[in-house]
Structure 1
Amino acid sequence: MKEIPLSRVFINEEVREAALRALNSGAYILAKECEAFEAELADYTGTKHAVLCSSWTAGGFLLHRAMGLKAGDEILVPSHTAFPTIEPMIHFGAKPVFIDIDETYCLDVDFLEASITPRTVGILPVHLYGHSANLDRILDVARKHGLWVIEDCAQAHGARFKGKRVGSMGVAGAFSFFPSKNLTVMGDGGCVTTNDTALADELRMLRNHGRKSKYIHEVVGYNLRFNEIQAAIGRVELRNIDQLNEHRRRIAARYTERLSGIVKTPPEKEWAHAVYHMYVIRIPQSRDRDELAKHLQSKRIGTGIHYPVANHQQPAVTKLYSNLPKLPNTEAIVNEILSLPV
């Protein structure tokens, strides 16, 4: 019986040739392949700049540092997301203020304004599973209250909101190239997209030990650089991303057609162009999700739960903060969701 994994990486001859080209170049960190990949990513996302870094988490660190995040600041963020979404802000002493989600699994804008305090500095919506958050409404709230918006695009390469690519509408967007993502570099990696030239310059300086020129360090920075081999691979993957995303959309449409009325299938809003990083169904608690997962496993079909514990209930978070909110939608779905292969 053929195995159907939850996710997989395809390595073709074009990928091998790109990696070998970079390997033979003799330059391995932040050289021509990285420069070309950054330019191509900026063009693809419709932004002025893309800044490569070593992971999504690295991008979060760089952004929060560059934007002056400090202890006591608050950021509005959904609890239902991967833990790295909130890690960088916590390291800077800022507090994640957790917001419940709507039917798209993205931040529910109706709960934003009630959560704003004098300490709130920004909103960090997550385009979860490849479906964009409602950016028009989020940006309206942000403008009204003088807040920045950073988009978490880790799972949404190529996704669109009203025709615009995600990562182009907030002050910045942060992407992941982890192997399971729609666009991978066969290892850890990430980038930040932005239309703010000064911010992009600051990010580039910070990722490379705080230097603007060789051996001249303007500030104390980090080693969060990108390498040439992965950049060369990423350039191949970027050329194919739209085709691969359309393949995912066809699989998702087939799932929805076959499963509607049996389980709750993921909606796609009229303003969204989802890229289905994951196809996540909801199984009512009256039925046994875990038994279904075991049955599929017995048929060699991979599944996953993304995510089994909401971030406001993670041990690392409950040790740090008291008076954490009750989030009914978030708390309900962790017992209902199941990711299927795409």
Structure 2
Amino acid sequence: MKIPFSPPFVDQDVINEVVDTLESGWITTGPKVKALEEEVCKLTHAPRALAVNSWTSGAILILKWFGVKEGDEVIVPAYTYSATALAVLHCGATPVMVDVKDDFTIDPEKVKAAITSKTKVIMPVDIAGLPCDYDAVNDIVNDPSIKNLFTATSENQEKLGRILVLSDAAHSVGALYKDKQTGVWADITIFSFHAVKNITTSEGGAICINLPKPFDNDAEYATMRLWTLNGQTKDAFTKSQGGGSSWKYDIVFQGLKVNMPDVCAAIGLAQIRKYTSQLMEERKRVAERYHSFFSQKNWAQLPIIKDSDRTSCYHLYALRMNDITEEQRDKMMEHIADKGVSVNVHFIPMPMLTLFKDLGYNIENYPVAYNNYSREISLPIYPQLTDADVDYICNVIEEAYQKVI
């Protein structure tokens, strides 16, 4: 038996939507992108959503929009994919890494201790589909003593008057925190629609804009949309409509080129329309079947898929084994692979990666992140898995544990 780790969900609805785009004669940013943005708003209840060509480009856009530059600091968890910190580096700023909690999410106490007058943004990460503690993070940035420490160096920083909360929700589209969707708990939330995500556009993402007054979210959407198009005042679709001076455009600032094309949006559009009613329910089925099996094993530490405040969107099933070493975990993975099951690890903490080690980060300063990483194996979880597939995976994991440990 061969079980892949995370194949994309492509059914006839996806194929039909893509073919419709191809037959329309318009494949770059246009009506499909707009429709996808509207569906994201419908799902999350965010005031506005802007589609981009990746989570990373969306994060760079927002950091630049907020005026983050050399000399500034952005607080990020040490336990996340490298894009979280790479976006900060691309703006010339410094990622300030802090440790995480046992549930993989950023530790608010560590965040508070890391804030300085240079801190411009806090970027919490929702890991595996589980939201972080948004109340704690929002309380920190609104604490009068923290606000007094904030030093604004751009127009948008002056307007906000405090540290920006930029949620890395690459994993958590559809997840709930206190019965409200991710997308409305931070000032800005960015989802990923990468090929392995719950909703995919092959490559892509969406920025949910949820800024407080005096910001006008509609106006900021329009500005950020220009940011995605090199600062150009008209997109290609608008220019193509013909007539008079419709072709004329201006470049009003130094933007980026990170727009999402319609041919990609079509894939996500077909998926998001059945996401909560079908796709996420199938992921839940798989997660609960794993839970039922591994809850009976005293060597297994189950991931949180629901607690009093949070409901996961079941992006990953991050299983940890108790009292094992990184080396033993790796040996387990070799045995699992030999049995035809593709598994993964999420994530190698950033301080263990060459780029960040060379910048002076040391994993010894992040003991919880390392402990989580050293014992974790991400199991396949997607709608196409049958119950028989899941049972086979469970048995292979137990067999690997018994063989190695």
Q: How does 1:132-143 map to 2 (within 5 A)?
A: 132-143=131-142
Distance 1:299 1:318 in 2: 35
Distance 1:322 1:253 in 2: 37
TM-score normalised by structure 2 residue count: 0.80
Q: How does 1:117-266 map to 2 (within 5 A)?
A: 117-144=116-143, 145=146, 146-185=162-201, 187-195=202-210, 196-213=217-234, 214-242=248-276, 243-260=278-295, 261-266=298-303
Show CA shifts across 1:87-116 (max 9, x none): 111111111111111121010112121111
The gaps in structure 1 that reach 5 residues or longer are none
Q: Supply the AA of the counterpart residue of 1:228.
A: D
Distance 1:81 1:322 in 2: 14
Q: Supply the AA of the counterpart residue of 1:104.
A: D
Distance 1:64 1:285 in 2: 40
Aligned residue for 2:10? 11
Indicate conservation of the 8 Å contact 1:23/1:229, yes or no: yes
Distance 1:14 1:324 in 2: 45
Name the SS of the counterpart of 1:86 in structure 2.
helix
Distance 1:183 1:20 in 2: 18
Farther-moved stretch of structure 1 (191-200 vs 297-306): 191-200
Show CA shifts across 1:22-58 (max 9, x none): 0111122221111111111112111111111110011
Indicate conservation of the 8 Å contact 1:178/1:184, yes or no: yes
Q: Supply the AA of the counterpart residue of 1:115.
A: A
Indicate conservation of the 8 Å contact 2:228/2:257, yes or no: yes
Show CA shifts across 1:60-104 (max 9, x none): 111011111111111111111111111111111111111111121
Indicate conservation of the 8 Å contact 2:351/2:362, yes or no: no
Residue 10 of structure 1 and its aligned partner are, at CA, apart by 2.4
Residue 334 of structure 1 and its aligned partner are, at CA, apart by 2.0
Aligned residue for 1:312? 351
Q: How does 1:263-282 map to 2 (within 5 A)?
A: 263-267=300-304, 268-282=306-320
Aligned residue for 2:37? 38
Indicate conservation of the 8 Å contact 1:66/1:202, yes or no: no
Show CA shifts across 1:124-147 (max 9, x none): 011110000010111111111231
Distance 1:121 1:321 in 2: 21
Name the SS of the counterpart of 1:217 in structure 2.
coil
Farther-moved stretch of structure 1 (198-207 vs 66-75): 198-207
Q: Supply the AA of the counterpart residue of 1:248.
A: R
Name the SS of the counterpart of 1:236 in structure 2.
helix
Show CA shifts across 1:275-296 (max 9, x none): 1211011123536222322222
Of 367, 376, 380 in structure 2, the residue corresponding to residue 337 of structure 1 is: 376
Aligned residue for 1:116? 115
Indicate conservation of the 8 Å contact 1:99/1:108, yes or no: yes
Distance 1:325 1:193 in 2: 35
Distance 1:119 1:321 in 2: 19
Q: How does 1:294-313 map to 2 (within 5 A)?
A: 294-308=334-348, 310-313=349-352
Percent identical among aligned pairs is 29
> When the two structures are aligned, how many residues end up with a matched partner?
339
Name the SS of the counterpart of 1:151 in structure 2.
strand
Indicate conservation of the 8 Å contact 1:122/1:142, yes or no: no
Farther-moved stretch of structure 1 (260-269 vs 54-63): 260-269
Aligned residue for 1:59? 58
Residue 324 of structure 1 and its aligned partner are, at CA, apart by 7.9
Q: Is 1:290 the equivalent of 2:324?
A: no
Q: Supply the AA of the counterpart residue of 1:313.
A: M
Distance 1:69 1:325 in 2: 28
Indicate conservation of the 8 Å contact 1:64/1:89, yes or no: yes
Indicate conservation of the 8 Å contact 1:156/1:277, yes or no: yes
CA RMSD of aligned residues (A): 1.6
Distance 1:233 1:341 in 2: 21
Indicate conservation of the 8 Å contact 1:98/1:325, yes or no: no
TM-score normalised by structure 1 residue count: 0.95
Q: Supply the AA of the counterpart residue of 1:93.
A: G
Indicate conservation of the 8 Å contact 1:9/1:179, yes or no: yes
Distance 1:108 1:304 in 2: 24
